[in-house]
A and B are shown apart, each in its own frame.
Chain A
């Protein structure tokens, strides 16, 4: 066995609690409760271990990471040990005073999610009245404090027509970066797929508009464009390959190759409460399962792109084909590709059902 390179970054899901209720959330439908969250000292120990194994960045995420009152302590600790911190937030719990404390702790970059370009639709999608206006105010404070701002614009059937307005919002806010993220159908997003899926025509138009804006704003706004899997011809290099560049730690300390990995049956996830992070990364069967290319079936195994897209996404293969070891059906070479496209087309052309909002009341109770 060759030893894997260390991960570049870790996603630290500090809590699954969140004031927003976005139906596209990629968190698992089995949300972890506040009572199982790791304490400050354990997270600090995890950050120490991460640096020790060669991790360079930490993404503080959730749920909503700012529900944790110890976020400043964790950011300060990350800074002290040499990690670059990113805060991935809904922003509605933040104000300028707390942002100032986070900045003092060494935070350099904040990613704020936006559900639409205007308050009415944004607040409907986020399930939080008054959210949009607060996000705008917090984003402005991020810039006033001199931190980098990313606008995360999650695109779905309800706001796909507003993509230019969302780019304009990012420009107005002085963002350095925008993520145009077409919904990825995992967790709550998968549960709400029919309520979120845009038509092919609307999707193509949005993609074309983004390309034009990207060219126009070159050198002023950095674009990250997460293209929609269901209308793709080749799969995304999910997580840049399973167990290859990133890992994800849940609020309770379970270590995952990606945030949806818990949907894959038969995989056992170990916890940083029990084992060193480096050992889990290197040796845990869940990480070995789809690492590299040996596991790949056809059409991946003989494909010249197998070290480009790494077989795409295991969780999507599972969700659509019933087997996580299949090629990602987003690939047109997959025998299941037509099924994927038919699901998207049928759902997008039907009337949108109501959202099942992401909230503990709608969550599946974890099996003990």
Chain B
């Protein structure tokens, strides 16, 4: 079995093979579909996960900094915390 994933700026996160992300038009928001679980994503989480397409965490952070014009250290902290939580729940791999 694999060890616990540690998310850092060099990680390249992506959705686990058994997980789907889609826009739910009934609820007007992005959702994650995982084994017997539905996660309703808030806007920030959706912005982060939609960038998990092979980019490094550092590149995702830079992209968000440019898009939202927020301090890099704040964004970095939030992005890494959210991705770590998602990795711990098996939603993403890196």
Which chain B residues border A148 with CB–CB below 8 Å?
16-18, 34-35, 90
Query: A147, A150, A171, A176 — which one has the most chain B CB atoms within 10 A of its CB?
Result: A176
Chain A, 5-22, contact with B by CB distance < 8 Å: what is the 0/1 string?
Answer: 010110000000000000
Chain A, 136-170, contact with B by CB distance < 8 Å: what is the 0/1 string? 00000000001110100000000000000000000
Number of residues on chain B facing chain A (CB within 8 A): 24
Query: Is the CB of B88 closer than 8 A to any CB of chain A?
Result: yes
Check A57–B33 contact: CB distance below 8 A.
yes
Query: Which residues of A sit under 8 angstroms from B17, Cβ to Cβ?
Result: 108, 146, 148
Q: Say yes or no: B31 contacts A56, CB within 8 Å.
A: yes
B interface residues, Cβ below 8 angstroms from A: 1-5, 16-20, 22, 24, 26-27, 31, 33-36, 38, 87-90
Instruction: Provide the residues of chain A in CB contact with B22, threshold 8 Å.
Output: 82
Across-interface contacts of A9 in B (CB, < 8 A): 36, 38
- Which residue of chain B has the shortest Cβ distance to A245 in the bound complex? B38
Given contacts A54-B26, A177-B90, contact A218 B4 (CB under 8 A): yes
Q: Which of A53, A111, A171, A177: most chain B CB closer than 10 A?
A: A177
The number of inter-chain residue pairs (CB within 8 angstroms) is 68
Point out residues on A near B: beta carbons under 8 Å: 6, 8-9, 53-54, 56-57, 59, 82, 84, 86, 108-109, 111, 146-148, 150, 171, 174, 176-177, 218-222, 224
Q: Are A56 and B35 in contact (CB under 8 A)?
A: no
CB of A159, distance to nearest CB on chain B (Å): 22
For the complex formed, measure the closest distance between the CB of A71 and the CB atoms of chain B, giving whole angstroms. 18
Which of A218, A219, A221 has the most C-beta atoms of chain B within 10 angstroms of its own C-beta? A219
CB pair B18 A54 closer than 8 Å: no
B69 to chain A, nearest CB (A): 33
Residues of B within 8 A of A221 (CB): 1
